[in-house]
Amino acid sequence: MARRLPSGFGTRPWLIQAHGSCKDTQTLVDMPDRSLHEVIIPEMQDEATHDCFLLSVTSRTSKISLPPLRPTTEYKGATCGVLGSPANFTVVIVSEVEVESEQKFMLCCCPGDQDWTDLTAADDNLRFSGTIVSHAGKLYAGNLVVTDVIDGAVRSRFLDTEGKVEAMHGSTASYLVVSSGDIFSVWIKYLGRPYDCSLIKIVVRRRDLSDLVWTRVESIGSDCDFLLSGDYGLSCSAAAAGMQGNCIYLVWSSCDCERLYKFCLDDMTKSFHQILPNPTSPCCIPDE
């Protein structure tokens, strides 16, 4: 297994897939040709520690230590986001809505803090769901909860939704993506169980934050791609990445493998490639 990163890593979009029994194996997927490169990233190895940090994989000297967290089992369903500017930022960890006995939580800290600040009680009426994206120094959650630093304190609030929004019934997955100064919402409808299903529909909406109106769009741009994986989504230049433009790429764990789907918005076709022989999500283990 290689210890050096492959040539071209960091110059175009790559997927980092953590898998194995303890998520201690990292496979890098080169998006243009789907080639696989198994590497060792020491900071991502499973260790008996509660250390928490931000890491730039392309420059391993860029490591920012954060306060330690309690055992990771207490943070099931957590999503992390960074708000503020590169010179003055705050890390926020939130959970989705409560599931069964799981309790929602919201924690924040700044580099140099000794402990995490618990904001759960302060924002008890808010419900976070889906992805979290950072835009213009603020965080936006899947149901458009906006989080900002106001008078030195982290505060969250709902954004009102204007305009008619087409409802999607049944099983869906949703993602937020920031592109060209706007926030896009990507909804994917599937039939069946998540790990054994057929992806049957994709809907893309754009929300212009100047007028707070959702608008369904048929294109994201000829030189734009969306990359969706886990709880995160981002946009990139298709030309710089060497990929077909106006496409949405989605990493999806199926019962037989890890797949990379491509939705082409030009003709509304979809295709997929196997990128790992086994799924990375534990919920993808079929019932006995």
pLDDT in tens, 87-99: 778 888 776 554 4
Same domain, 253 and 279: yes
The answer as to whether 57 is a domain residue is no
Read off the pLDDT of residues 78-88 as tens digits, 9 standing for 90 and up.
778 888 777 77
Domain count, the chain: 3
144 in a structural domain: yes
pLDDT at residue number 102: 54
Shared-domain flag, residues 169 and 155 = no
Q: Which domain holds residue 244?
A: 164-288
Q: Is residue 89 part of a domain?
A: yes
Looking at the predicted structure, is the pLDDT value of residue 203 above 80? yes
Q: Could you tell me if 196 and 217 lie in one domain?
A: yes
Q: What is the mean pLDDT of residues 4-33?
A: 78
- Cβ atoms of 83 and 138 within 8 Å: the answer is yes
Residues 138, 202, single domain; the answer is no
- Is residue 54 domain-resident? no
Is 287 found in the same domain as 234? Answer: yes
pLDDT of residue 287: 41
> pLDDT tens digit string along 30-40?
888 888 888 87
Note the helical H segments in the chain.
Answer: 238-241
In a domain, 249, yes or no: yes
Q: Residue 124 above 70 pLDDT?
A: no
Confidence of residue 282 (pLDDT cuts 50, 70, 90): very low
| Half-sphere exposure for 119 (CA within 13 Å, toward CB) | 20
Q: What is the pLDDT of residue 286?
A: 40
Residues 102 and 184 both lie in one domain: no
Give 266's DSSP letter. Answer: T
The residue among 121, 143, 159 that closes a domain is 159
Q: Per-residue pLDDT for 159 more than 80?
A: no
Mean pLDDT for all residues in the chain = 77
My answer on whether 255 and 177 are in the same domain is yes
Residue with tokens 């496409």: 247
Q: What is the pLDDT of residues 207-237, one digit of tens each?
A: 877 776 788 999 999 999 999 987 788 899 9
Evaluated on CA atoms 60, 131, 48, 38, the torsion sign reads negative
Do 132 and 71 reside in the same domain of the chain? yes
Does the residue 137 lie in any domain? yes
State whether 19 and 137 are in the same domain.
Answer: no
Task: Please indicate, yes or no, if residue 61 is contained in any of the structural domains.
Answer: no
Q: Is residue 55 part of a domain?
A: no
User: For position 152, what pLDDT does the model report?
Assistant: 72
What does the pLDDT look like over 237-247, one tens digit per residue?
Answer: 999 888 999 99
172 and 281, same domain (yes or no)? yes
The residue among 14 and 94 whose pLDDT is bigger is 14
Same domain (yes/no): 180, 272: yes
Q: Do 190 and 272 fall within a single domain?
A: yes
pTM of the shown model = 0.80
Angstrom CA distances, 65 to 59, 91, 162, 209, 257, stand at: 15, 11, 40, 33, 34
Mean pLDDT value across residues 110-127: 75
pLDDT tens-digit series, residues 245-273: 999 999 887 777 788 899 999 999 999 88
